[in-house]
Chain A
Amino acid sequence: MTDNTTKHDTEAGAGPNERVIGTPSSAESDAIVAGAADPHPQREHDGPYPASETHKHSEEEQRRGEKVASLWFTIAFLAGVGFIVAFFVFPPEAIADPQIGQYSTMALGGTLALSLFGIGAGMTVWARRVMPHYEVSSPYDELPSPPEEKRSFGEFFMKGADESGFTKRPLMRRTLLLAMAPLGIAPIVLLRDTGPLPGDKLKHTMWEQGMHMVAEGTHRRLRAEDLENEPGGMISALPYVEPTPEHPHGLSLNEQAKTSVILIKMPENDWKPGMTQQQLNWTYNNIVAYSKICTHVGCPAALYERTTHRILCPCHQSTFDAADGAKVIFGPAHRPLPQLPISVDDEGYLIANGDFPTAVGPTFWDAEKGD
C-alpha cells in the first residue's frame, strides 16, 4: 500500500495495519480517489484519528463545495478577462503620465491578483470540501542501509577501483592530476583581462595645479566670493573641464567619483588648534576644500552642519570635523577626508593648488603608503 512497507520496519511491529490509517484498504483506495462512495469509513478506522476527522464529505456537502469552487473559478475567469481588457484600455501613450500609469498598474494588478486568487481559492475549496479528508501513515526509510547491502556495495566498488588500477598505478594517477592542474588554473587566468592592475591609479586624481572648479551640476566657474554669500555654507564642486561629445558634462562618472570636493567657508576664528600650518596654507581666505567621498566605503559625505562644522556621511554616519582637518569624530571611518590645496588665480577664480595629498575614497590596503 504505502511505499516501502514492512521491509525494515521490524521493531515497531510492522504489519498490514501499517498501510493506511482510517482509509479503505489498498484495493479500495483508488476507488475513493476516483470519487466513488466511501464504503466503510467507520469500520476501517483503526488508527489514532477520531472518526470525525477521517471522513468523506456527504454528497450534499460535496455539491455545495463544487458550487463554491466553481464560483471562485468563474470570478477568476472574469477577472482574467478584465486583465486583458485593462491592458488595452490604457494605451502606451497614456501610461507615460505617472498618474494614469498608476491607474493602469492598479487595474492590471487588481484584476490579475483577483484572477490568481480565484484560482487559488477555488482549488483550496476543491481540496477541502470536495475531496475526502484523511491522513495516512507511511514508514520513513530505514537508515542506514542494512550491513549486507553496504558490504555488497563496498566490495563492488573496491573491486572496480582495483580493476581501474587507480590506486595501484601511481604514475598514471599522478600525471593525470598533474594534467588537470593547469586546466584548473586556466579559468582564473582567463579572468585577468576583466580589468587593469590597480597600480597607483587609486592614489591620484585629475586635480592639478591651476585647475578651475565648478559648482556641481553647473558649468559656472567658482570664485572665492561665491562662498561669501553664505558664510558657513557649503558648495559641492568639481574640476572645470570643457564638455566633450561623450561626456556632455565634461567629466566621466569615474572622474566625478574621485575629484568631487566640498568647499566650506570657515569663520575666521573657528579653526581648531589641530590644524597644521600646512593645512592652513592649503586654505584660501578661510575657504577649505575636502574630498566629498567618505573614507569609509565611499558614499558622498554631503551633509554639513554649519554651527558645529561637522561633515556627515548619510550612509553610515561617519562624522568629520571641518574645522580640524576633517578628522573623524564619530562613526566607522578612520582616515580624515583628504584636503585639496586651493588658492585663487589672477582673475579671482578658485583653483586647485595640486592634487590631494592622500588617496581619496574608501581606505584600501596601501592607501596610507607613499608612492
Chain B
Amino acid sequence: MSTNTDAPKALRNTGNYIDDRFHLAKTGEKNLRKVFPNHWSFMLGEIALYSFIILIITGIWLTLWFKPSMAEIVYDGSYERLNGVAMSEAYASTLYIDFDVRGGFLIRQIHHWAALIFVAALVVHMLRVFFTGAFRKPREINWLIGIAIFALAMVEGLFGYSLPDDLPSGMGVRILQGVILALPVIGTYLSMFLFGGEFPGEDIITRLYMLHILLIPGILLALIVLHVLILWHQKHTQYPGLGRTDRKVVGTPMFPAFAVKAGGFFFLTFAVTTVMSGFVQVNPIHLFGPFTPTSITSGLQPDWYMGFMEGSLRIFPNWFDFQIAGYAVPTAVLVPGLVIPGLIFGALAVWPFMEQWITGDKRHHNVGDRPRNAPVRTGLGVAGVVFYGVLWAAGSNDVLAETFHISLYWTTYFFRVALIVGPILGFIIAKRICLGLQRRDLETLEHGYESGIIQQLPSGEFIEVHREPSEETVSVLESKLEREKILAAQRSVTIDQHGVESPESRSLVGRLRAWLSHWYTKDNVSFEGAELHRGHPPEHEREEIERRRPPGAAEHPGRERPGRRQLRPGLCHAGERFPTGLRASDRAGRQVGPPPAARTKHQAALSRPQHPSQLRPPPFSRETRREPQNPPGGF
C-alpha cells in the first residue's frame, strides 16, 4: 500500500502519513483483499443497508422543518383545502414540508419508500439466510442480531408512520394504545405513562419523535454496524460450487472490483427509490386529513410490514376472552398483539439452536445449503412464510371483500381456516418439491442430461445419448454428499460411536430428539452409491447386471460393475475424464480417510481431477460411521 514504490507520490505520502500514525499497512491490505463471493441473493442485504443510509440522510433533512408538537392550531397555509381546519402542529408542519418546501414532497416520499424497501429487503435477505442455512454455526449470533434489527425496524417504521398525525397514522397509534391497554395489570399504567395521560394526550408525538429519530435509529445503527462487522470478520457464506468449501471462500476481492460494484449498487438502489418517490405517490397525508379520534374511513391499510399484525387483530376471534375474578383478559387483543409476533420472532430466533439440537450438527458451515437438500427446514420456512402471508392478506380482508364482492365475514372465516391449513399444506408441498428436486439431481448426477441424440448400437438397439453435466454442476450437486455426512451424524445423536444407546435417549426428551432427528431426515434421497454418469444401460445388459448382483448390493449397484465406463464409451462423451482407476488425488485423500475396505465405489467414482489445493476429506461413508474402527476392547 503505502510502501508500494509504484504508487504516485501524493498517494504514497498520504499512505505514509496514515501508516506513521496507525500502522495500517498490513491491516489495510488484509481488509482490501477481503473476498466476497458473488451471487445475486447476496445483494438483498446490501439493499437493506443502502435503504437505511437513505433513511438517515432524508430523515435528517426532514427534521429541519418537522415540528413534533400536538398543540392544536387552526391551519392557515398553502394547502388551501384544509384552511380553517383544526389540526396538530405536527400535521401542519408536514403539510408545510409538502407544499412550501421545494423538494419536500419528494424527500418525504423517498423517506417513506425507503422505509418500505428497507423492511422488505431485510425480510427477503432473512429468508435467503434461512433457506440456505447461512444462520448455522458460526453465524447464529449474527442471525439473532438480524432478528433484532427486523423487530426494531418494524417498530421504527410504525413510529415514523405515526409522526405526521394524519388520520390513518393516528388510528395506528390508537390501535397501539388499545393493545397496550389490554395487557393484564400493567396495561393502564403503561398507557398512561406512555401517552402522558389518556389517549391521545399531548405528548405522544413528541415522545415517538424522540424514539423515532434518536433512540431506535441509534440502536439500529449500532446493530447494523455490528452485523456488518461480524460478517466482515467471519467472511461471507457462499454457495456450493467448484473450489468452494467450508474452509475456503471464493469471490471478488474488496478492492477494487467489489468496492466499485457495491458503490454503484448503492446509487442504483437510491435511484430506484427516488424514481418511485417522484412518480408513485405514497402516504398522501394531505388527502387523509388530520387525526381526530372520532373519524375513520373504511379500507384503512397500514404500511405493509404492519399488515400481519393488522390481519391477526382482524381474524382472531373473541372466543377465548376470559376473566380472572372479574378482571378482563382480552385474548382477542393480546394474542394478535403480542403472542403472534412473539411466536414469529421467537421461532426465528430459536430455530438455529433448535436445528442444531435436532441434528446434533455442531460443526462450522461456510457453504450454504441448497434449500432442496434440507427439505424439512425448507418446508418449515415455507410454512412460516405462508403463516405470515395469510395474516398479511387478512390485514386487507375488507379491501379483498370489496374488490372481489365476497362477504366480509366469509373472508374472515376463510383466513381463520387458511391460517391453520395453509402452513401445513405449504410444508408438505415444499418438502415434496424438495424431494423431487433431489431425485432429479441424482438423476442428473448419474445419467447426465438428455442430449436428444439417438444412437444405434451394434445390436440394433436405439439409445438416447446422455450428456455429462459440467464439472461445476457436478460439484454443486455433489454438495449434497457433504450434507449427508450430517445426516449420518444425526443418527448418532443418541447412539455413541460404539453403537451403545446413551442414557439420554431413553428419557422423554431423548426420545423426542431421536424422533425429531428421524423426522428431519427420513425422506431424503440418498446420494450414497451414486455413480457419475452411468448412462442408461440397455435392457439386456441391465438384466445381466441384475442377475450377477449379490442380494446385499442392491443399494450400491456400481460396486459390482467396475468396468462399466470402459464398456460403454459411446454413451459417455466426457467419460474419459472419469476413468475407474484411482487418481493421485484419490490416493492422497485416502490417507486421511477411513480404511480402504470401508470405502464404497462411488467415492472413487465421484472424485474428479483435483488440484492438490482443493483436496477435501473423502465423502463420508455410512458404513464407517456405524462400524467401530477400534475393536470394542476400549470398554
A interface residues, Cβ below 8 angstroms from B: 1-4, 9, 11-15, 17-18, 21, 30-31, 33-34, 46-49, 87, 90-92, 95-96, 98, 101-102, 104-106, 108-110, 112-114, 116-117, 119-124, 126-128, 131, 133-143, 191-192, 194-198, 201-202, 216, 236, 238, 246-249, 253-254, 256-258, 260, 292-293, 296-300, 302-303, 314-317, 328, 330-335, 361-369
Binds A, one of B186-194, B512-520, B564-572: B186-194
Closest B residue by C-beta to A333? B318
Q: Which residues of A contact B268 (CB under 8 A)?
A: 116-117, 120-121, 124
Which 9 residue pairs across A and B have the least CB separation, nearest first? A109-B278, A297-B178, A123-B264, A120-B267, A96-B78, A48-B242, A257-B293, A120-B268, A362-B178
Identify A106's interface contact among B4, B178, B279, B366, CB under 8 A: B279
Is B298 an interface residue, CB under 8 A from the partner?
yes
Kindly state the separation between the CA atoms of A150 and B395 in the bound complex, as whole angstroms.
53
Q: Which of A247, A317, A365, A367 has the most CB of B within 10 A?
A: A365
With contact pairs A196-B192, A300-B296 given, residues A120 and B266 touching in the complex (Cβ less than 8 Å): yes
Kindly state the separation between the CA atoms of A293 and B38 in the bound complex, as whole angstroms.
55
With contact pairs A116-B271, A317-B314 given, residues A196 and B197 touching in the complex (Cβ less than 8 Å): yes
Q: Nearest-CB distance from B96 to chain A (Å)?
A: 10
Identify B296's interface contact among A95, A197, A299, CB under 8 A: A299
Is B42 an interface residue, CB under 8 A from the partner?
no
Q: Report yes or no: A98 in contact with B99, Cβ–Cβ below 8 A.
A: yes
Q: Which residues of B contact A102 (CB under 8 A)?
A: 105
Identify B263's interface contact among A4, A123, A256, CB under 8 A: A123
Is B86 an interface residue, CB under 8 A from the partner?
yes
Q: What is the 8 Å Cβ interface bit string for chain B, positions 237-267, against chain A (1 contact, 0 not)? A: 0000011011111111101110011011111
Q: Which of A33, A123, A238, A368 has the most CB of B within 10 A?
A: A123
Q: Report yes or no: B398 in contact with A109, Cβ–Cβ below 8 A.
A: no
Q: Report yes or no: A47 in contact with B611, Cβ–Cβ below 8 A.
A: yes
Q: Report yes or no: A140 in contact with B182, Cβ–Cβ below 8 A.
A: no
Q: Which residues of B contact A197 (CB under 8 A)?
A: 189, 192
With contact pairs A248-B86, A256-B292 given, residues A138 and B274 touching in the complex (Cβ less than 8 Å): no
Binds A, one of B150-158, B419-427, B597-605, B612-620: B612-620
Q: Which residues of A contact B274 (CB under 8 A)?
A: 109, 112-113, 116
Count the A-B residue pairs with Cβ separation under 8 angstroms: how many?
364
Q: Report yes or no: B278 in contact with A113, Cβ–Cβ below 8 A.
A: yes
Q: Which residues of B contact A246 (CB under 8 A)?
A: 72
Q: Nearest-CB distance from A147 to chain B (Å)?
A: 17
Closest B residue by C-beta to A301? B296
Identify A112's interface contact among B72, B175, B261, B278, CB under 8 A: B278
Q: Report yes or no: A95 in contact with B397, Cβ–Cβ below 8 A.
A: no
Binds A, one of B117-125, B323-331, B538-546: B323-331
Q: Nearest-CB distance from A74 to chain B (Å)?
A: 15
Q: What is the 8 Å Cβ interface bit string for chain B, positions 606-626, against chain A (1 contact, 0 not)? A: 000001111111000000000
Q: Report yes or no: A131 in contact with B257, Cβ–Cβ below 8 A.
A: yes
Q: Report yes or no: A138 in contact with B275, Cβ–Cβ below 8 A.
A: no
With contact pairs A17-B613, A116-B274 given, residues A314 and B279 touching in the complex (Cβ less than 8 Å): no
* A to B CB contacts below 8 Å, 10 in the list: A9-B247, A49-B242, A95-B78, A104-B102, A109-B109, A127-B260, A136-B251, A260-B293, A302-B296, A361-B199
With contact pairs A113-B271, A293-B293, A300-B293 given, residues A138 and B249 touching in the complex (Cβ less than 8 Å): yes
8 Å CB contacts to A: which residues of B62-121?
72, 74, 78-80, 86, 98-103, 105-106, 109
Q: Report yes or no: A11 in contact with B193, Cβ–Cβ below 8 A.
A: no
Q: Report yes or no: A297 in contact with B257, Cβ–Cβ below 8 A.
A: no
